[in-house]
Chains A and B, each alone.
Chain A
């Protein structure tokens, strides 16, 4: 058990807010820019889900590895991927994180432990097992964290990864970000075993469910789970019940949602609003502290989009670079 007492320093609280607010501003801006038609490919926005990514990533070190999903912007930002590089990547520019060849669903930065967003559901889970196996061999105390959506939880690669992690006793954490919809299919329709914790139980590992819209609930649970994995306690599953503000992808008509559903969740279940209310109520942070960060982030996002739009695209000469790697 960790000595995590939920007493975060002022700097840690500011760091958490900066993480969540950067993700929110990034995604809100992508939503606007995508509608202009200038952004190529598909984008899947993480707005509304920030507390889960931040609550977990606050416990991770650079040498810990994560694998992400098609909805990966939030995980990338929280793990420390350069925001300007990410925006340039979305625009397909050579200054992008992957030199403009990956786009939204393939942003990766191995130097900081980000193994990549992934367009294939559940495909990050075996990668995480690999990272966790490396950690176990090296005995360096690092962990692997796999983020998955509730839709991916039916995928064979996810279930096989749970088994592998349990059999090999890996320092792996599987985070099911349950926003209630697998693209347009509700969990009720598509998932036979309703509780993801029950699935963990079936593979002999502990599982925990938390309110994924409450940063402190995620932070506290993740602290215990990650600490357990680092100390040799094996794999665990964390289910974060959360909500997404936008559709499955930008352009999704969302006919499967109630007419006032989004309005209601923005009003009542916004994790950022909840965080601000919590920290100001106990006078851990002031509005002035938060407004200072808001301004910094606004400037960062404006600069990132401005620079990305002006950045050059890859040339023909770049076509065969970054394709193969020599070991």
Chain B
């Protein structure tokens, strides 16, 4: 049994550390999370972990720690290997590593990061299920949970102790297409249209510039852009529709709501209207020019001459439902020593 593992060393390093006191998980802690996941996987009988290489320090900490663990007699860890993919310190590393893991036939991919990292994996994971661990800034997609438990759930799933119909959930996705295929990309939680001109630090927080928002699901208990929709009209992860919200500056909007758009940052957001979007429905952006943010990060610029459309896609990729797995495992006695 082989499990892929993507740990983003640069998640939670952006400007929101300064403007919003966002959390900043040290590299050593990220490496420790990986170790805890590996301990869980090993206890379930997983033999191999295939990890994304990076130069941010996680690999080096892991190497040291695994040597220590071996010296201490803790030898139940799966063997650790790295994908033979380039390291550029950008999202391209995640794309390449995910593709390599799929080609290598991993049974599942565990992801450490925020919404952006999970988006990067979801883009290329194909039919392989992913399990998320929050180490990012806005973590609407990955649930907050101790990584040991996520590791156990994944270990039980890939060793066939939990049936797929219990373990695996289907997820929605938003496809963004500029000028009929000139540029296309995806988002797993939200697509935000802002009047900003440049990618800059990528993060979004100037709510007066927001113009449109598309969400696959929306929860009033999360932070980030999808929280706007979550406050207006919550949408479940597995409900067969999403939401499109038209926004405007709070100064001119008739409806203004307070939204936690980043950790510790509650901003007024002006709402013009909102509507449900159904599966396979396509909406053309009505904003003249600006930047499109995918899962909270500015990515695609567009001008008046560009036509950009957003489509909601059902059953786009699979995730492991950790809660369902652990409940089943407890009831079915799958964790007997």
Contacts and interface: CB of A to CB of B under 8 A. Distances in A.
A278 B201 CA distance: 14
A269 B35 CA distance: 34
Given A188-B60, A195-B26, A214 B199 contact: yes
A284 interface: yes
A206 B12 CA distance: 12
Interface residues of A, number: 33
Contacts of B202: 217
B76 interface: no
Interface stretch (B13-21, B65-73, B277-285, B328-336): B13-21
A207 B21 CA distance: 10
A194 B56 contact: yes
A5 B60 CA distance: 38
Nearest to A283: B303
B197 interface: yes
B209 interface: yes
Nearest to A278: B198
Contact of A7 (B13, B197, B289): B197
B72 to A, nearest CB: 21
Contact of B24 (A194, A201, A214): A201
Interface in A1-23: 1, 5-7
A224 B19 contact: yes
A191 to B, nearest CB: 8
Contacts of A282: 197-198, 289, 301, 303
A197 interface: yes
Query: What band does the interface of chain B fall in when counting residues whose beta carbon is under 8 Å from A?
Result: 20 to 34
A299 interface: no
Contact of B26 (A201, A214, A217, A228): A201
Contact of B27 (A188, A198, A214): A198
A194 B87 CA distance: 15
A48 to B, nearest CB: 16
B19 A193 contact: no
B200 A220 contact: yes
B324 to A, nearest CB: 35
A197 B60 contact: no
Contacts of A225: 18
A208 interface: yes
Interface in A194-231: 194-195, 197-198, 201, 206-210, 214, 216-217, 219-221, 224-225, 228
Given A6-B198, A7-B197, 17 more contacts: A5-B209, A193-B57, A194-B56, A195-B13, A198-B26, A206-B18, A207-B13, A208-B17, A208-B18, A209-B10, A210-B15, A210-B201, A217-B202, A220-B198, A221-B201, A224-B18, A282-B289
Interface of B: 9-10, 13-15, 17-19, 21, 24, 26-28, 55-57, 60, 89, 196-202, 206, 209, 289, 301, 303
14 contacts: A1-B19, A188-B60, A193-B27, A194-B57, A195-B26, A197-B17, A201-B26, A207-B17, A208-B14, A208-B17, A210-B201, A224-B15, A236-B18, A284-B197
